[in-house]
Every structure is written in structure tokens, then in C-alpha cells.
A and B are shown apart, each in its own frame.
Chain A
Amino acid sequence: MGINESVTKNIWIGLRFGIGFLVLCGGLYTAVITFVGEQLFPHQARGSVIVHDGQAVGSTLVAQAFADPRYFYARPSAAGYDPTATGGSNLAPSNPELRVQARARSEQIQSKEQVIAAAIPVELIAASGAGLDPHISPDAALFQAERVAAQRNLTNESVTALIAQYTEKKQFGVFGQARVNVLKLNLALDQMKDK
């Protein structure tokens, strides 16, 4: 077979190869796996949305902005808690801009919680990777407990107990970090009767 003939033949095969796999991988695989996944795990498949009193109040996987002092707040978001425009700050540790942002967050938390800077868990002034981190560490939740309890006329003990109840351990005892889902915790708070 000559080189020209061989090139023509391969171009023709290449074209059919491309279209064939568009159908097989892009079409068939995606359709079948997506369908099976949705049938097996319908809640997760549509974004783990929580419905409360008949209303969709959020996704357990998406952080919300909490400004009201009666609520626990999540980590800072470089994306303004918008799930359709996610992202991190992408600021380097050497970037003065990051220091400016961190100082503003630190000062805001110091006045909100009436604490000194050295008491603030560092994750609360550090923006998360996607800007949607739904979790804070148990330490960062306990750090906010006193203020939340005071604002809601609850005892510190009852709020601390609620945090303990909503602390997710390492998955299967080994994977990841212990954490508290801020949205679930705040929903539970709203359920509590004032004491």
C-alpha cells in the first residue's frame, strides 16, 4: 500500500472512529450510567437538596451565607456562596492582597465573638477551595457556641450538646476530618425550643 493510499484510508477510519466513539462514550455510556445512578440514588443524583416544611432550603453539599448572629457561619467564600460561579481566591501566601482580606475577616470575627485574634480557628479566615465548603471543624463550631447560645437564650451546654450530636466523625473511622455541617446544625437550632 502506498503512502498516499494509506493516509486516505486512515483519515477515513479516523473520521468514523471519532463519530463512533462520540456515540458510544459520549452518548451511550453517559446515558446509561446517569440513568442507573439516578435510579439507585435519587436524592444524591439531584444535588442532595433538603426539603423543610415543603420548601427546598438548601443542599447539604453547598454552604450558605449566614449573617444573623443567631446562626453559626460557614467558612469565607471567594465565590460569594454562589454555586454557579464557584472558585477559590487563588491568592498566594506571599500576596499582600490575601493579607488584607485575612485581616478584615479576622477583625470582623474578633468584634462579633468578642475574642482576641489568637483564639480564632484559622480555617474561619481562610477561603475554601470552591467557595462552597459546607463544613467547619468541631473546634470552629464550639468557638461560635457561646455567642449563638446567648443570642438565642439557650444554655451553652445545650448548644455544645447539639454540636456534638451534629459532628460527623471520620468516615468509616479513617477517611477525612471530623466536621460539622453548618446548614444542618443551623436547621437543628431553629428546631430547638428556647429554654
Chain B
Amino acid sequence: MFEIILIMTMAIALAYPLGRYMIGVFSSEAHFSDRIFNPIERIIYRCIGVNPHTSMNWKSYGLAFLLSNLMLGIIAFLILKFQHVLPLNPDNIGPLSWDLALHTAVSFLTNTNQQHYSGQAQLSYLSQGTLIVTLQFVTPAMALAVCVAILRGMMGGRNEKLAKEGAERDLGNYYVDTVRGIVRVLIPLAAVVALILSSQGVPSTFKEAQTVTTLDQSSAVIEQTIPVGPVASMVAIKQLGTNGGGWYGPNSSNPLENPTPFSNAIETIAIVLIPIAIVFMAGGMLRRKGFTAMSFAVMALFSASFIGFTVYSELQPNAAFNELAASGPNMEGKETRFGPELSALWGTLTTQTSNGSVNAMHDSFNPVGGLITRSGMLINGIWGGVGCGFVNFIVYIWIAVFLSGLMIGRTPELFGKKIETREITLLGTLIVLPTLVILGFTAITVALPSLTGNSNPGFHAISQVFYEYTSAFANNGSGFEGLGDNTVWWNVSCVITLLLGRYLPLVIPLAIAGMMAKKRTVPTGVGSLSVGNVTFAVTLIAVILILNFLSFLPAAVIGPIGEALQLATTGVEG
């Protein structure tokens, strides 16, 4: 327990200065980091043909975001589809099928890193070492840029003082924001984390794998090939950018990807570092201390209670081992050096943040652990993914403000900007969307057993399917990995889920922020709703819980809750 508190304290202590630094990175005023990074960025702007001084309104910002994603997606698909004729393929790995290439491209483009291929075996060095690492840097920075633009919009845009009511507002320059996020935030952090991980034993080389002769030649395994590669540099950005797609199949449970308890602590901190820093950054950009405190408190409360439930769950015995060994915690799919508590901590944080990397197998978690991890993905705004997590949180805030306004009989407004019919209609779409997509696809897949590819029977089979679509929609990428998911149905249906789960929840809030920015600012008065207090925090918590309970409680009953009750009453057959 002490270790969990220590890791979280370290994460928050590091996130605070990072958040302050990011305010400077994304402000239009001069910043001390300019001296180091301006020359590099000038070269980049020239190469990509961008004038960094142009400003964008929400429409041109959104268009630039969508079209740069489209182009990146096409590049990614082509590299994966034609990796067999492209360079850096010493093992002569063949092309991916069209559906697998499409799923892999979209999965990494949407910052999800859901993997339906099997690790090193199906990807060339160009695909894995170059393309995927690039997407792991670029995609979190893109969402962070959209988040920053939304925050500017909430303050009326960068031209608030000069613009008239109804005039278009300057939300910044999309390309500048993205480039700065990569160059000034992600690359420096990733470099530091990668070197720490190398020191702990994560491979870092372009040399070939070594083959060893094992000690016990009477055993079934007399030789082992120790797979290496430029692993540390990828693992660092995988953790920092809420990406989650690892070098090796079983991700950070593999001792080569996460060798020691210290590397585990660093990788765990890296999962939440930027998402927590964004809370501090947002408060600073909005210049509202009370808002920061309220946001931080609500997220911390959710996060801490979820961690508590998962730790409790995994400290319980695994029902399958009943009376076959001494009673102990659930160690199936977990590593000795981490033990149940650190596996539960990682499992909780990686699903709250849309990271999706794992250091233990979630499929083998006890039912309550499985319930909590999927709840983190459904809420998708407890710290949340880089950029997109805080945008989801703002959506919850807008809904809570609207409901509070109705309850006290006033026009709902946030920071002096009214939330009216147009905005609330769009917000409504965002509430219905996950229910429709996740439950819809789960229902279709479960109804046609030939499609599912389950590895587990009963309640857990439904959970496997539900988890896969939830993970895709939340752009998380973790899985109940026993699922046989490299089929045309799984690839195509997940591609649709991934796209809907990525672009609508980013572009719709951008549109709302852009439209609200143009409105006249209502002066703060006695009747204004304050969001920086306990009353609003409680309302917000209630909104988050009620929305998710209404949508997903029945699905949980025929999933982990049913499984837990079954284990408690009849145990495991066999």
C-alpha cells in the first residue's frame, strides 16, 4: 500500500511542474524554452510548409486536424500493406492482409494501439521501429492540440479582447500546437525515460538476437533466442503518450520490456504523468484555481477508489486454484517481481488513461478487477488519454453545468458563456454514441457465435467481447487477450468503433467550444454558477456515475457481476 501511495505522490509531484511548463509551451508569449526549441521548430515549419503565425478558427482547426489524420492514416496503411517490398525487412516478413493492415493503421492513428497482429512476428523493422513509434509521438500531440484549442475557446479565443460578439475566434494554429507538443514535451520526456529503462535492462540495440544454450539440457527447452531491438526508445513513448502498444506481445509483463520493480515504477508514473499535468495546465490556461482544484479532486477521488477496489480484488484468491495450493492472492497472469498490488495499480491506471499497456493479464483478473478496468475505460475521463481525456472531462462538466442550471432555474453558463440548445444537442450525441456503438456491436457479435472467437466460456465470454469494443471506443487498446480477434469481422467492426470513438469526441467538443467562444460574455454576478466548489464536484460525480450506470449497468450484470456471483455460489467446475 505504501508503495502505491509513493508512486502516485511522485507522479503528482512531477506532473505539477510539467503542467506549469506546458502552459508556457502553448501560450503565444515568449517562453524560456524558445531559445532551445525555436530553431528546430523553424526547420520543421519550413519542411512541412506551415506559416506559424497564421491563426485558425474552430472550423479550420478541426479541418486541419482531420485532414492531417487522413494523410497520416494513408501513409500508415500503405507502409503496413507494402512492408514486404519496403526496406528494413531483414526477416522477409510478408504483407498484412487488407483488414489487418487497416485495423493496425487506424488503431495506432487513433492513439489506441489495439493489436490484432502478433508482435515481432508480423511486422518489419520499418513498420514497428519507425512507423509505430512515429504514430506514438504524433497522435497524443494531435489530441493535446485539440484540447488546448478547446481551452482557448472556453476563454473566448485568443482574440477575445478585440473580437466583437459573433465574430470568429482565434483558437491557435493546429500545426504549431502539434509540433510544440512533440518537440517540447514528448521527445524530451521520452528520451529521459528511455535511458532510465535501458539502465534497468530494457534492450536498446540494432544488433541481432543472441541464442543461448540453457542450463538444464534434460528439459524440454534446450535453446532460447533472446529477442532484442530498439525496445527502450519505443517503450518510453508507449507509456508517456497513453499509447500502450508494446514491443513484445504481452507488453510490460514481459521482463525484457519491464525488468525491475524500479522500471515498473517509472513506467507506471509515465502512464499518468502527462494526463495529470494536463489538469494543472488547463487550470492555468483558464486562470481559475478553483476549477483546477475541483477537477483534480474529482479525478483523484475516482482514481483512488478504483485503485482500492482493484487491489482488493487481486489480493483475493483465484477461484480456480481453490484447495490445489496454499491460499494466496490471484497470481495467474501476474509477475513475481510486481505482485498483485502493483499489477492492480497498473491495471487501474492504464484503463483510466486510455493507455492500454499492461504488466499483468487482465483476462485472468478476478471479476471485480475486470469490472473496474472496464469502468475506467467507459468513463474515459479520469485523468484520461493525453488531450482527449481532459476533453471528455470537459464534456461531463458541460452536462453537469446544464443540469445544475436547470435545477436552480437559471440559464446554464460556464465562464460567462451560455450553453444553449445547439450545444446541448451536440452533447446529447456524445452521450448516446458510446452506448450505441459498444452495446450495438457487442450484441451483434454475441448473437452470432461464429464471430466471437472466445477463449473463455459463460459470463466471461460476453465480457471478452464487451471489453474489446469498450477498449476500441475508449481508444485504450488493452484487451482480454484470449480473444481470437484477427478476423475480418473483428478488424472491420473495431475500425468503425475506433474511428467513431476518436474523432467525434474530439471534433464535437471543438465545435461546441468554438460556438460558445463567439457568444457575448455574461458578467459574473451573484446568480452565476461557480464550478470551483464541493457542491459542483458532487454534482459532477453524480452526473458521471448516473450516465454510465444508465448505459452500462445491465451489461455489467451479464458480465463480471454475474461471473463473481457464480464463483461465489458454485465455484469452478472441472
Contacts and interface: CB of A to CB of B under 8 A. Distances in A.
A binds B: yes
Interface of A: 6-7, 10-22, 24-27, 29-31, 33-34, 36-38, 40-41, 44-49, 55-62, 64-68, 71, 75, 80-100, 102-103, 105-106, 117-137, 170-172, 174-177, 179, 183, 186-187, 190
Most buried by B among A11, A13, A49, A68: A13
Contacts of A99: 320, 324, 572-574
Contacts of A171: 260-262
A192 B50 CA distance: 69
Contacts of B490: none
Contacts of A33: 190-191, 194-195, 204, 230, 232-233, 236
Contacts of B50: 13
A175 B264 contact: yes
A41 B199 contact: yes
Interface in B305-330: 317-321, 323-330
Nearest to B574: A96
Nearest to A70: B216
B550 interface: no
Nearest to A125: B325
Contact of B481 (A67, A87, A125, A131): A87
A58 B319 contact: no
Given A45-B198, A58-B224, A176-B339, A29 B260 contact: no
Interface string B48-63: 1110000000001001
B219 A117 contact: no
B194 A37 contact: yes
Interface stretch (B358-366, B402-410, B431-439): B358-366
A14 B338 contact: no
Across the A-B interface, the 4 shortest Cβ-Cβ residue pairs:
A176-B261, A129-B253, A96-B574, A37-B204
Nearest to B259: A61
A81 B224 contact: yes
Contact of B326 (A14, A89, A119): A119
Given A25-B133, A176-B339, A122 B264 contact: no
Contacts of B331: 122-123, 126
Interface residues of B, number: 129
Contacts of A84: 120-121, 225, 227
A140 B496 CA distance: 47
A128 B226 contact: no
Contacts of A14: 64, 67-72
Given A30-B129, A58-B224, A176-B342, A91 B364 contact: yes
B206 A25 contact: no
B248 interface: yes
Interface stretch (B151-159, B207-215, B391-399, B527-535): B207-215
13 contacts: A13-B50, A46-B228, A61-B201, A64-B215, A65-B216, A88-B253, A90-B361, A90-B480, A92-B482, A94-B572, A102-B325, A129-B360, A177-B338
A94 B333 CA distance: 14
A175 B262 contact: yes
B508 interface: no
A14 B567 CA distance: 53
A66 B204 CA distance: 29
Nearest to B208: A46
A108 to B, nearest CB: 11
Contacts of A47: 203, 209-210, 226-228, 256
B334 A128 contact: yes
Contacts of B383: none
Contacts of B138: 18, 21, 25
Given A64-B219, A90-B364, A130-B249, 9 more contacts: A18-B71, A21-B134, A49-B226, A68-B216, A84-B121, A88-B250, A102-B325, A124-B325, A177-B338
B3 A41 contact: no
A182 to B, nearest CB: 10
Nearest to A136: B336
Interface string B351-374: 000000011110110110000000
B429 interface: no
Given A99-B574, A129-B359, A135 B198 contact: no
Nearest to A1: B60
B75 interface: yes
B95 interface: no
Contacts of B170: none
